[in-house]
């Protein structure tokens, strides 16, 4: 064992729970569906165990790791690979244009190619990272290890306790599926809860780079109106939807009831009963009535 390996201490505050199950590493890489044509981004490579499996299956991997003390270990473990770039940075603040430029040096064409992300995410910033990845039109697919409870919220169906703003936001950008549940015993150090791997396949219009709107989706008025309606709907999720929308959203009760009737929604429904399409229909009916 090299000195830096012996001296390495996992940093809890950086979410450093490393995968120690070899079969799991291979399974994640297999299930991600990446192939030799793919440009892969890994967030938080840690000691490089998953990175190695990704390198074996892809055209190239760019790995962004915040912890400087992991650099010698990571570089040494993966020194035999030429198709790897390691960047020591905080993914949340790192300029994505640099990632694109690095891939471009390896043949990436912005007009044709997309990036696939595979990562065992640091749990303390899971939502922030997922949000950034969803909004990024260069990224077409993500295979992400998250806490089991977060995974259940991502893939939830209407009507359940887990269904909410996170589900609808993931549905807006992508088709999601639960790939596997992972026991906490597969990590070192062992976390308190189990994990799960979720796959996101972005909708074609969300990653259509010939459409300028995809780069500014947060500023798109329809998107902003839709998510302000959804946020108001879930702000009091135990109440009837109509009451939440009147109390928090500031909508007019008569307008709402007419829009409900037009879309065949029961007057007593709650926020969790509507699908993303239902919310889109509701917004469009309300807007027409105004
Ligand atoms: N990929 C390794 C594995 O699967 O065993 C390690 C995964 S561990 C759950 C999360 C990794 O993300 C850690 O190596 C941690 O240092 C890194 N990390 C935490 N915050 C980060 C950030 N803001 N940007 C990049 N990496 C980060």
CATH of the domain at 151: 3.40.50.150
Residue 14 CA: nearest ligand 1 atom is 19
CA angle 243, 248, 250 (to 5 degrees): 90
**pLDDT by residue (tens digit) across 192-240?**
999 999 999 999 999 999 988 899 998 999 999 999 999 999 999 899 9
Q: What percent of the chain is predicted at pLDDT more than 90? A: 92
Shared-domain flag, residues 48 and 187? yes
The pLDDT tens digits of the residues spanning 134-151 come to 999 999 999 999 999 999
Q: Whose CA is nearest to atom 6 of ligand 1?
A: 46
Mean pLDDT of 12-41: 97
In a domain, 2, yes or no: no
Determine the distance from the C-alpha atom of residue 124 to the mean position of all C-alpha atoms in its chain, rounded to a whole number: 14
Angle between helices 126-135 and 165-173 (to 10 degrees): 30
Report whether pLDDT(2) > 70: no
Q: Which of 13, 21, 32, 46 has most ligand 1 atoms within 8 Å of its beta carbon, as the pocket-test mutant?
A: 46
Specify the ligand 1 atom closest to the Cα of 51. Answer: 1
The answer to whether residue 1 scores a pLDDT higher than 70 is no
Closest Cα to atom 1, ligand 1: which residue?
45
Q: Identify the band that residue 73 occupies on the pLDDT scale cut at 50, 70 and 90.
A: very high
From 84-88, 184-188, 252-256, 285-289, the region with the lowest mean pLDDT: 285-289
Expressed as residue numbers, the domain containing 53 is: 12-212
Query: Whose CA is closest to 286, among 253, 259, 246?
Result: 259
Arithmetic mean of pLDDT over the chain: 95
Query: Model confidence at 3, in pLDDT bands (50, 70, 90)?
Result: low
Do residues 33 and 160 both lie within one domain?
A: yes
Residue 63 pLDDT more than 70? yes
CA–CA distances in Å: residue 13 to residues 10, 37, 122, 185: 9, 35, 9, 20
Question: What strand order describes the sheet that includes 174-182?
Answer: 84-88, 60-65, 39-43, 115-120, 139-147, 195-202, 174-182
The whole-number pLDDT of residue 37 equals 97
Our measurement of the distance from residue 45's CA atom to the centroid of its chain's CA atoms, rounded to an integer in Å, reads: 17
Name all residues whose Cβ lies below 6 A of ligand 1.
14-19, 43-46, 49-50, 64-67, 90-92, 120, 122, 125
What does the block give as tokens for 233?
């709907």
Has residue 141 been placed in a domain? yes
- The whole-angstrom separation of Cα 10 and Cα 15 is 9
Q: How far is the CA of 107 from the centre of ligand 1 (A)?
A: 27
**Whether residue 255 sits in one domain with residue 187:** no
Q: How far is the CA of 100 from the centre of ligand 1 (A)?
A: 21
Instruction: Determine the distance separating the centroid of ligand 1 and the alpha carbon of 13, expressed in angstroms.
Output: 10
Instruction: Please give the number of the atom of ligand 1 that sits closest to the Cα of 187.
Output: 5
pLDDT at 287: 84
Domain count, the chain: 2
Q: Are 180 and 197 in contact (CB under 8 A)?
A: yes
- Residue 9 is predicted with a pLDDT of 86
Is there a domain that residue 4 lies in? no
User: Which residue carries 């009451």 as its tokens?
Assistant: 243
Could you tell me which residues come within 8 angstroms of residue 131 by beta carbon, excluding any fewer than 6 positions away? 169
Establish if 6 belongs to a structural domain: no
The domain that holds 245 is classified in CATH as: 1.10.8.100
Kindly give, in sequence order, each residue whose CB lies less than 8 Å from that of residue 145, ignoring residues fewer than 6 positions away.
Answer: 19, 28, 119, 120, 121, 182, 195, 196, 197
Nearest to 123 by CA among 214, 195, 223: 195
Q: Could you identify the atom of ligand 1 that is nearest to the CA of residue 64?
A: 25
* Greater pLDDT, 92 or 213: 92
Q: What is the mean pLDDT of residues 241-249?
A: 95
């Amino acid at each position: 064992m090299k000195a830096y390996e012996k001296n390495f201490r996992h940093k809890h505050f950086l979410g450093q729970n490393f995968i120690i199950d070899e079969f799991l590493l291979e399974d994640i890489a297999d299930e991600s569906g990446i192939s030799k044509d793919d440009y892969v981004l890994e967030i938080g490579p840690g000691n490089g165990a998953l990175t190695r499996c990704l390198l074996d299956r892809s055209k190239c991997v760019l790995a962004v790791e915040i912890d400087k003390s992991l650099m010698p270990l990571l570089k040494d473990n993966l020194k035999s690979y030429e198709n790897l770039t390691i960047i020591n940075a905080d993914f949340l603040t790192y300029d994505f244009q640099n990632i694109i430029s690095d891939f471009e040096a390896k043949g990436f064409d912005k007009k044709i190619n997309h990036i696939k992300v595979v990562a065992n995410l640091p749990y303390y910033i899971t939502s922030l990272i997922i949000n950034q990845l969803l909004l990024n039109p260069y990224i077409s697919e993500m295979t992400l290890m998250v806490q089991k409870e977060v995974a259940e919220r991502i893939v939830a169906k209407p009507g359940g306790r887990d269904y909410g703003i996170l589900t609808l936001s993931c549905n807006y950008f992508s088709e999601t599926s639960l790939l596997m549940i992972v026991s906490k015993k597969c990590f070192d150090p062992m976390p308190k809860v189990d994990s799960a791997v979720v796959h996101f396949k972005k909708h074609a219009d969300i990653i259509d780079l010939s459409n300028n709107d995809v780069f500014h989706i947060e500023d798109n008025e329809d998107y902003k109106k839709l998510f302000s309606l959804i946020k108001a709907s879930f702000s009091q999720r135990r109440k009837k939807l109509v009451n939440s929308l009147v109390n928090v959203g500031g909508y007019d009760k008569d307008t709402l009831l007419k829009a409900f009737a037009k879309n065949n929604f029961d007057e007593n429904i709650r926020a969790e009963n509507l699908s993303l399409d239902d919310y889109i229909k509701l917004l469009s009916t309300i807007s027409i009535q105004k």
